[in-house]
């Protein structure tokens, strides 16, 4: 939590001025009952209208000055709170961007989204209320008690009894609800996770007609969240009635005691009114304080969660120096795996085991295997999205851990399984590959990726807007534009991770021929479950259950690799049967 307070360091002035103005406002509020008592004791009692008008003018002046102080306090508190939240949100987003895939997998997307939005907003509200009311309310409470003793010390003894009881109630409820609000926020994470999964997978849910089941699952999670919120809400709701009971008992004691004193002439009527005003101020301020504490309790729970993310350190460190310039032409081996194992965080079994192979510069390599065989896990080690838990992954003769991040990203270009495009123009999306790319570079990449016709068919060409997630494009169009975006970077190594699954066979074949004809020719790794996509690769690596079970050309593997032969015959045999029908 102390780390979070550091984001307020640029708003020290505002963080001091806001409470000071609130204290000034409180001081003027504490003077009001004395002025009212004076009006009753001197003006009304003796019928002195001039005095009454003068004191009313004083009340108006106090109100005007108090309002000015309140507005100033609100302005500086809001400025500090909004600035704090903006800095924290930027820092949190930047920190998340630095985390490796391992930490992102462990934390979860929905939880991180909740930290960036709901939790930061809770902290912003907490800072705002703390600067405005956290000092003002206790100041009013104790100030009212002191002023009451100045009015009548004997009658003010009621305040000495009431105030400690009120503080026990307030802080007792705070102590009880603090861990409960933390549980509520955790439940909210679960609801958000389920919501995100349902929205992203809505087509799959409808395809399998699982709407009713998902609605019921969401209802169950939401019901648990509701019960948690209602339980903690009931405890928090006790604060107002309990404080009202104590305050009203204090008022009764003041009236009964003050009435007796007024009747015997030991106390004036205006003093009784002033004491009641101070008791009312205490009531109002404690209600404010109670609500502030509830808000701060939630903010503290959110703060711990945000701090927890900021404390997560990436398990992947990149060197500051790197390897410098590499003469790729001099390298016989461009990619090498030596007895590589991979175990994902939290997983018991190895996703890759004893993987060893070597790829020469300029080769086209196909990687094939069944679902879950480790194909994507293997290629993710090359750009170092994950680190091997054993063995060594080499790029241009150097361990990938020796490269700086920018060196790796410039050497290795990767098109993911899921084609993700961002809201913006086609040009803006393509420039992700290389911000310095020329118009000619963009159109060349589009032509190679078989996406030129897509752009030419748009009214605005490269300036055509792509909606969030590319939802105004078909699956095949998204894949081709994603491939073009990577090709703009002109990388030495190009990895296509099952990135042409939505393309027809003719377009897929044209894409592979166009990539093979690039000058200079990159080293291409094609991950696919289609045997047709890798038939003519220089080297085919066959994966099964995280192990390399075959390496060689298509003809060699048909002879000596049963797994590859089974995949090939299952696909081409099925096609031939269909033609026969």
Confidence of residue 578 (pLDDT cuts 50, 70, 90): very low
Instruction: Give the global pTM.
Output: 0.74
pLDDT of 575 over the 50 cut? no
Looking at residue 1, its pLDDT comes to 64
CA distance 492 to 359: 13
Please give the structure tokens belonging to residue 300: 């503290």
CB of 303 closer than 8 Å to CB of 181? no
SS (H, E, C) 152-196: CCCCCHHHHHHHHHHHHHHHHHHHHHHHHHHHHHHHHHHHHHHHH
Cis peptide before 320 (omega within 30 of 0): no
Range 509-523 burial, b when 16+ CB lie within 10 A, else e: bebbeebeeeeeebb
pLDDT of 184 over the 90 cut? no
Q: How many CB atoms lie within 10 A of CB 246?
A: 20
Q: How many CB atoms lie within 10 A of CB 574?
A: 10
Looking at residue 394, its pLDDT comes to 92
Q: Which helix (H) or strand (E) holds 520?
A: none
Range 202-231 burial, b when 16+ CB lie within 10 A, else e: eeebeeeeeeeebeeeeeebeeebeebbee
Mean pLDDT of the chain: 86
Looking at residue 153, its pLDDT comes to 81
Confidence of residue 175 (pLDDT cuts 50, 70, 90): confident
pLDDT of 458 over the 50 cut? yes
CB of 500 closer than 8 Å to CB of 521? no
CA distance 249 to 162: 9
% residues pLDDT > 70 (the chain): 97
Confidence of residue 88 (pLDDT cuts 50, 70, 90): very high
Looking at residue 68, its pLDDT comes to 94
| CATH entry 1.20.1560.10 includes domain 85-311 | yes
Please give the structure tokens belonging to residue 61: 């002046």
φ, ψ (nearest 5 deg) of residue 503: -90, 150
Looking at residue 20, its pLDDT comes to 93
CA distance 167 to 98: 45
Please report the sign of the dihedral spanned by the C-alpha atoms of residue 147, residue 150, residue 156, residue 157.
positive
Confidence of residue 494 (pLDDT cuts 50, 70, 90): very high
% residues pLDDT > 90 (the chain): 26
pLDDT of 92 over the 70 cut? yes
Please give the structure tokens belonging to residue 315: 């398990």
CA distance 312 to 99: 8
Looking at residue 64, its pLDDT comes to 94
Looking at residue 329, its pLDDT comes to 60
CA distance 340 to 394: 11
Local structure of 449: helix, strand or coil:
coil
pLDDT of 39 over the 80 cut? yes
How many helices (H) and strands (E) would you count in the chain? 22, 12
CB of 536 closer than 8 Å to CB of 554? yes
Local structure of 268: helix, strand or coil:
coil
Looking at residue 382, its pLDDT comes to 92
CA distance 480 to 419: 9
Confidence of residue 577 (pLDDT cuts 50, 70, 90): very low
Domain 85-311 and domain 328-580 have a common topology: no
Looking at residue 580, its pLDDT comes to 37
Rg (alpha carbons) of the chain, rounded to whole number: 35
255 or 123, which is more confident? 123
SS (H, E, C) 344-386: CCCCCCCCEEEEEEEEECCCEEEEEECCCCCHHHHHHCCCCCC
CA distance 232 to 219: 20
pLDDT of 515 over the 50 cut? yes
For the domain spanning 328-580, the CATH number is 3.40.50.300
Q: Please state the domain extents for the chain.
A: 85-311, 328-580
Mean pLDDT score, 469-498: 88
Q: Could you report the per-residue pLDDT of 498-514, keeping only the tens digit for each?
A: 887 778 888 888 888 89
Crossing angle between the packed helical segments 120-129 and 49-98, to the nearest 10 degrees: 150
Q: Could you report the per-residue pLDDT of 123-150, keeping only the tens digit for each?
A: 999 999 989 888 888 888 888 888 888 8
Q: Could you report the per-residue pLDDT of 395-423, keeping only the tens digit for each?
A: 988 899 989 888 888 889 998 888 888 89
pLDDT of 330 over the 70 cut? no
Looking at residue 581, its pLDDT comes to 34
Block residue for tokens 């073009």: 484
Mean pLDDT score, 84-111: 87
């Amino acid at each position: 939590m102390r780390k979070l307070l550091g984001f307020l360091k640029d708003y020290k002035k505002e963080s001091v001025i806001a409470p000071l103005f609130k204290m000034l406002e409180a001081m003027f509020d504490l003077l009001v009952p004395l002025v009212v008592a004076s009006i009753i004791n001197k003006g009304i009692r003796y019928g002195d209208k001039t005095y009454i008008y003068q004191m009313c003018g004083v009340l108006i002046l106090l109100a005007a000055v108090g309002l000015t102080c309140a507005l100033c306090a609100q302005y500086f508190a809001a400025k500090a709170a909004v600035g704090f939240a903006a800095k924290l949100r930027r820092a949190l987003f930047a920190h998340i961007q630095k985390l490796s895939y391992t930490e992102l997998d462990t934390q979860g997307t929905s939880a991180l989204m909740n930290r960036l939005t709901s939790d930061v907003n809770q902290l912003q509200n907490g800072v705002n209320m703390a600067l405005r009311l956290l000092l003002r309310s206790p100041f009013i409470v104790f100030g009212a008690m002191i002023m009451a003793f100045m009015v009548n010390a004997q009658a003010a003894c009621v305040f000495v009894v009431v105030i400690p009881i009120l503080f026990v109630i307030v802080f007792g409820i705070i102590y009880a609800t603090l861990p409960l609000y933390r549980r509520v926020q955790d439940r909210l994470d679960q609801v958000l996770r389920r919501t995100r999964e349902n929205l992203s997978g809505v087509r799959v849910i409808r395809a399998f007609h699982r709407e009713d089941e998902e609605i019921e699952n969401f209802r169950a999670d939401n019901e648990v969240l509701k019960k948690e919120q209602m339980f903690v809400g009931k405890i928090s709701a006790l604060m107002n009635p309990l404080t009202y009971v104590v305050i009203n008992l204090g008022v009764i004691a003041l009236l009964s005691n003050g009435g007796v004193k007024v009747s015997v002439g030991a106390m004036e009527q205006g003093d009784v009114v002033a004491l009641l005003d101070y008791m009312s101020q205490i009531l109002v301020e404690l209600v404010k304080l109670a609500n502030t504490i509830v808000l701060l309790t939630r903010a503290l729970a959110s703060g711990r969660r945000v701090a927890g993310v900021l404390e997560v350190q990436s398990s992947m460190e990149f060197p500051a120096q790197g390897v410098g310039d590499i003469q790729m032409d001099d390298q016989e081996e461009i990619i090498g795996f030596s007895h590589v194992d991979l175990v994902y965080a939290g997983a018991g079994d190895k996703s890759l085991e004893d993987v060893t192979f070597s790829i020469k510069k300029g080769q086209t390599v196909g990687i094939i295997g069944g679902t879950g065989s480790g194909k994507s896990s293997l290629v993710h080690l090359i750009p170092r999205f994950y680190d091997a838990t054993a063995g060594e992954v080499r790029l241009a003769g150097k361990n990938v851990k020796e490269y700086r991040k920018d060196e790796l990203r410039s050497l290795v270009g990767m098109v993911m399984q899921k084609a993700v495009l961002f809201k913006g123009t086609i040009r803006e999306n393509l420039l992700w590959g290389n911000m310095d790319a020329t118009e000619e570079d963009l159109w060349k990449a589009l032509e190679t990726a078989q996406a030129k016709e897509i752009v030419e068919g748009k009214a605005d060409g490269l300036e055509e807007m792509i909606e969030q997630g590319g939802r105004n494009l078909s699956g095949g169009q998204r894949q081709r534009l994603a491939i073009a975006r990577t090709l703009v970077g002109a990388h030495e190594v190009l990895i296509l991770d099952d990135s042409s699954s939505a393309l027809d066979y003719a377009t897929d074949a044209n894409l592979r021929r166009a990539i093979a004809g690039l000058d200079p020719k990159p080293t291409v790794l094609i991950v696919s479950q289609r045997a047709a996509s890798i038939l003519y690769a220089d080297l085919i690596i066959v994966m099964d259950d995280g192990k390399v079970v075959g390496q060689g050309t298509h003809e060699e593997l048909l002879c000596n690799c049963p797994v590859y032969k089974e995949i090939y015959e299952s696909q081409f045999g099925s096609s031939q049967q269909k033609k026969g029908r």
